[in-house]
Amino acid sequence: MDGIYILGIHDGHNCGASLCLDGKIISSVLEERLTRKKNEVGYPKLSIEECLKIANVDVKQIKKIIIASNFMHEPSYLVNISSWYLVDENQQKIDSNRSKKYLKSVFLQRKKERIDNVVRHLQVDSSCISFIEHHLAHLAAAYYTYPNLKKDEKILGLTCDGAGDGLSSSVSICTNNKINRISHTDRHASLGKIYSRITMLLGMKPWEHEYKIMGLAPYANQKIATNESKKLHKLIKLNKKKLNFELVGNLSTNYSYFFLKEQFERVRFDNIAGAVQIFTEEMLVNWVKAAVKKTKIRKIVCGGGVFMNVKANMLIQNLPEIENVYVMPSASDESLSIGAALHFYNNNFNKLFNKISGKLDNLYLGSPLRKDDLDLELTKIKQNKNYEIKENYDFDNTISDILNKNESIAICNGRTEWGARALCNRSIIAKSGSRKIVDKINSQIKMRDFWMPFAPTILDTKYNLCIDDKKKIKPSYMTFALPAKESAQEGLAGAMHPIDKTCRPQVMKRSTNKKIYNMLKRYCTKYNQYGVLQTSFNIHGEPIVNSAKDAISTFERSGLKFLVLDDYLISKK
């Protein structure tokens, strides 16, 4: 295929690659899906090869390779984070005395190593490799995929995360290819780092289990949690004029773990979760309000890991001063390779911004189910007398009837979803109104924490009946939490948070996924439903399944009874 191909690479935490053709992302793969190691770190060799294979592209056709982040730690440093999480003010003093010469030598050494990885792997000349700054890549991923982008329109761009390239947040004004940064927060006053250190303090895994803290927060005594959140204001504050976060004292958030431990000792775990969630929501909302007031721009795009917080996103989109808000799907570092590729294309091959083509029509950007893998797995299954296989069956009615009997069904169909959230191609689905099925999925299949809610996939024609969406966002990628209407709470009981009655919906349109849409339409019509409970097809702690082999392995090791594998329905007898 002719055209301009740009390869984006992210070689840090949850590494991956993306391939852009003429400003459109045509393949994007996370390394964890292929190595089967959750949140894989380092050079994404397999992801790069898979992106090229999906697109049937030879390395020689690639015009440019862009690596996200000017600096990236070596993989071992990112794997063993406790060595630099469990530090205090004394370590801060030691680290602050490191010479600039030493830091520059580390930077240059890592840059060389990262370039060498690409050169060795792809046999390309180093002149075709460039870098893009971390927060610029985050913003580019959000801005260039914004679905309503128009030429010459001003958009307010916000990024917020733990840190990257020395920054932890930024505010920019985006017009066409000009991204004009007007404010930034350095890495020491990081809102994201406070949340990740609380995650570790509560015995969970930073950079992975922050969503558990968010799910736990509504269980807190809100009065106590609000009072406890005041302790976090001792660390950072918002400067509304400069539009950045600043340290209150001398203690950097990088070294705040023992401060937090001291502050929250003997405070109940749910109230700690509530406190950090309330603090994060308050800081983000006030930051957004200040940015809109200063710039007078009411349409915003958001990128960076902090915007994975769907509850905070809900409050932001409800602000009266906001006209429209778009959050990059799966906004953490996995989105960096997308931003890297799109930024380079638009700033070098679309300078007049005549072609606005970055919009994501869907997130099915990953590996397809390949026939050789599928045939091999089906041959194995057919030899096992404990399984029954159906082909050429009435998909819509059969799946609808199974769901109505309160059974859950695993789906492995078509191309994999890119990002952290499954969207019905690598999902487990069940009846959305059943609380009983939640316990069953948790204990027999997902093996995850009891307090974590599941999310609904809702048919587009049913959405207005069950979700209170004042701004008519209709999120396709589970980027916002929204309240379930009181009349619909019984029908969504298994797919919403049992305490605050919010849910993180995926609105299913026919244009997004025709096969699943038609089945949902049949199910919703036949049994008077809004949609289905939906969760990623994986066992807790493992990546979402990728191939037919992964699907069968997970199916065999879980309590699942039914598996849709491409055009086949596999049942345990």
Q: Which two tokens stand for residue 35?
A: 């190595």
Q: What is the pLDDT averaged over residues 438-452?
A: 84
Q: Which fold has domain 146-327?
A: Nucleotidyltransferase; domain 5 (3.30.420)
Q: What is the pLDDT averaged over residues 196-208?
A: 96
User: What pLDDT sits at residue 420?
Assistant: 96
pLDDT at 439 exceeding the cut of 90: no
pLDDT at 440 exceeding the cut of 90: no
Helix (H, G, I), strand (E, B) or coil at 164: strand
Q: Which fold has domain 5-80+102-135?
A: Nucleotidyltransferase; domain 5 (3.30.420)
pLDDT in tens, 271-286: 999 999 999 999 999 9
Q: Which has the closest alpha carbon to 299: 171, 177, 155?
A: 155
As separate numbers, helices (DSSP H) first and strands (DSSP E) second, the chain gives 20, 22
Share of the chain above pLDDT 70, in %: 100
DSSP characters for 537-565?
SS-TTSPPP-SHHHHHHHHHHSS--EEEE
* Mean pLDDT score of the chain: 96
Integer-rounded Cα Rg, in Å, for the chain is 23
Round to whole Å and give the CA distance between 93 and 64: 41
DSSP characters for 469-505?
-TT----SSS---EEBPGGGTTTTGGGS-TTT-EE--
Could you tell me which residue, 568 or 358, shows the higher pLDDT? 568
pLDDT at 532 exceeding the cut of 90: yes
pLDDT in tens, 37-84: 999 999 999 999 999 999 999 999 999 999 999 999 999 999 989 889
Q: What is the pLDDT averaged over residues 529-535?
A: 97
pLDDT at 434 exceeding the cut of 90: no
pLDDT at 515 exceeding the cut of 90: yes
Q: What is the pLDDT averaged over residues 172-181?
A: 97
Domain ranges in the chain with CATH number 3.30.420.40: 5-80+102-135, 146-327
pLDDT at 33 exceeding the cut of 80: yes
pLDDT at 232 exceeding the cut of 70: yes
Of the pLDDT bands very low, low, confident and very high (cuts 50, 70, 90), residue 1 is: low
pTM equals 0.97
Domain ranges in the chain with CATH number 3.90.870.20: 371-572
Round to whole Å and give the CA distance between 228 and 240: 23
Share of the chain above pLDDT 90, in %: 94
Helix (H, G, I), strand (E, B) or coil at 72: coil
pLDDT in tens, 362-379: 999 999 999 999 999 999
User: What pLDDT sits at residue 551?
Assistant: 98
Across the strands, what pairs with 453? none
Of the pLDDT bands very low, low, confident and very high (cuts 50, 70, 90), residue 447 is: confident
Q: Which has the closest alpha carbon to 506: 532, 480, 478?
A: 478
Q: What is the pLDDT averaged over residues 441-469?
A: 91
Does the structural domain 371-572 have CATH classification 3.90.870.20?
yes
Q: For the chain, what percentages of helix, strand and coil (3-state, to nearest 5) are there?
A: 40, 20, 35
The H-or-E segment that residue 468 falls in is none
pLDDT at 444 exceeding the cut of 80: no
CA separation, residue 49 to residues 30, 53, 371, 420, 504 (Å): 11, 6, 18, 20, 33
User: What pLDDT sits at residue 565?
Assistant: 98
Of the pLDDT bands very low, low, confident and very high (cuts 50, 70, 90), residue 356 is: confident
pLDDT in tens, 252-305: 999 999 999 999 999 999 999 999 999 999 999 999 999 999 999 999 999 999
Q: Which two tokens stand for residue 97?
A: 């005395």
pLDDT at 514 exceeding the cut of 80: yes
Q: Which residues of 118-149 are buried (b: 16+ CB within 10 A; e: fewer)?
A: beeebebeeebbebbbbbbbbbbbbbbbbeeb
Beta strands in 201-253 (DSSP E): 236-239, 244-247
Across the strands, what pairs with 238? 245
Q: Which has the closest alpha carbon to 33: 12, 18, 52, 14?
A: 14
pLDDT in tens, 7-30: 999 999 999 999 999 999 999 999
pLDDT in tens, 535-545: 999 998 999 99
Q: Which has the closest alpha carbon to 523: 401, 434, 427?
A: 401
Cβ proximity of 117 and 47 under 8 Å? no
pLDDT in tens, 105-150: 999 999 999 999 999 999 999 999 999 999 999 999 999 999 989 9
Q: Within a 10 A sphere around the Cβ of 67, how many other Cβ atoms?
A: 26
Q: Which two tokens stand for residue 504?
A: 């993180």
Query: Phi, psi at residue 349, to the nearest 5°?
Result: -125, 5
CB neighbours of 136 closer than 8 A, spacing ≥ 6? 179, 181, 339, 343
User: What pLDDT sits at residue 481?
Assistant: 98
Round to whole Å and give the CA distance between 431 and 454: 11
Q: What is the pLDDT averaged over residues 333-354?
A: 96
Q: Within a 10 A sphere around the Cβ of 536, how many other Cβ atoms?
A: 20
pLDDT at 428 exceeding the cut of 90: yes
Strands 155-164 and 299-303, sheet pairing: parallel
